[in-house]
């Protein structure tokens, strides 16, 4: 597998991106920490590195299911308590955190349905569907020194409007079921790998906004 080293100035520093068990804030989006290049590291003193030997290819089934975007929950105030919680433990105000996540979570894809090789994107309830096949992974090194892994899939069929590539970041490096993820999509594989500020984030559609907020604050 290829390893891509990215050096991109201006990656925003920030506190951990919140969320559940099993190294959920370990990568960013993506993008994706107390010094935040979207790695979600909780340490300031040393970078969070990936053990390249431990990284294993993953199947799309790891992200199978029905998923909702966090962006509407940020916009409608559901996540205000999360921003306040972060401000109590971080170096930014709640409004500053909210502005940061406004950029990070921003997307017009409110729902994603993944079933086998099929990925359906919903915009205003309208579906666009593509079939995707595994296309390896990339270990990224950010300006801060933190590392993360993007698992990549390329379109093999489906609607013309569906993106050619999708790239998952869920802070895990080997096959396991995702409990949330950041997703990057577009038609240029290499260009997507340079995106570290916008990382649309998805949680299971079956969770209520209150449940998601509670889970994020429990991290």
d(Cα 194, Cα 57) in Å, to the nearest integer? Answer: 21
Q: What is the pTM of this model?
A: 0.80
| pLDDT, position 207 | 98
Which residues pair with residue 167 across a beta bridge?
Answer: 152, 184
Per-residue confidence (pLDDT) for residue 59, from 0 to 100: 98
Q: What is the pLDDT of residue 2?
A: 39
Q: What is the pLDDT of residue 45?
A: 59
- Copy the structure tokens of residue 42: 């909780």
> Which residues 6+ apart lie within 8 Å of 169 measured at CB?
27, 28, 29, 30, 31, 32, 38, 148, 149, 150, 151, 181, 182, 183, 184, 199
The segments of the chain whose pLDDT lies below 70 read: 1-45, 219
């Amino acid at each position: 597998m290829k390893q891509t080293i990215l050096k991109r100035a201006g990656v925003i520093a920030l506190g951990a991106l919140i969320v559940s068990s099993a190294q959920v804030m370990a990568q960013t989006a993506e993008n994706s920490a107390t010094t935040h290049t979207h790695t979600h590291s909780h340490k300031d003193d040393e970078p969070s590195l990936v053990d390249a030997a431990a990284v294993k290819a993953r199947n799309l089934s790891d992200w199978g299911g029905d998923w909702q975007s966090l962006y509407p929950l940020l916009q409608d105030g559901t996540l205000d308590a999360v921003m306040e919680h972060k401000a109590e433990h971080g170096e930014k105000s709640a409004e500053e955190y909210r502005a940061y996540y406004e950029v990070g979570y921003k997307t017009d894809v409110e729902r994603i349905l993944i079933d086998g090789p099929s990925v359906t994107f919903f915009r205003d309830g309208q579906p666009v569907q593509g079939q995707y096949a595994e296309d390896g992974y990339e270990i990224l090194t950010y300006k801060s020194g933190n590392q993360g892994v993007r698992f990549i899939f390329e379109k093999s069929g489906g609607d013309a409007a569906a993106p050619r590539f999708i790239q998952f970041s869920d802070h895990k490096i080997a096959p396991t079921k995702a409990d949330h993820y950041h997703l990057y999509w577009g038609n240029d594989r290499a260009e997507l790998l340079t995106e570290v500020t916008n990382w649309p984030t998805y949680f299971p559609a079956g969770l209520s906004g209150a449940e998601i907020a509670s889970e994020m604050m429990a991290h």
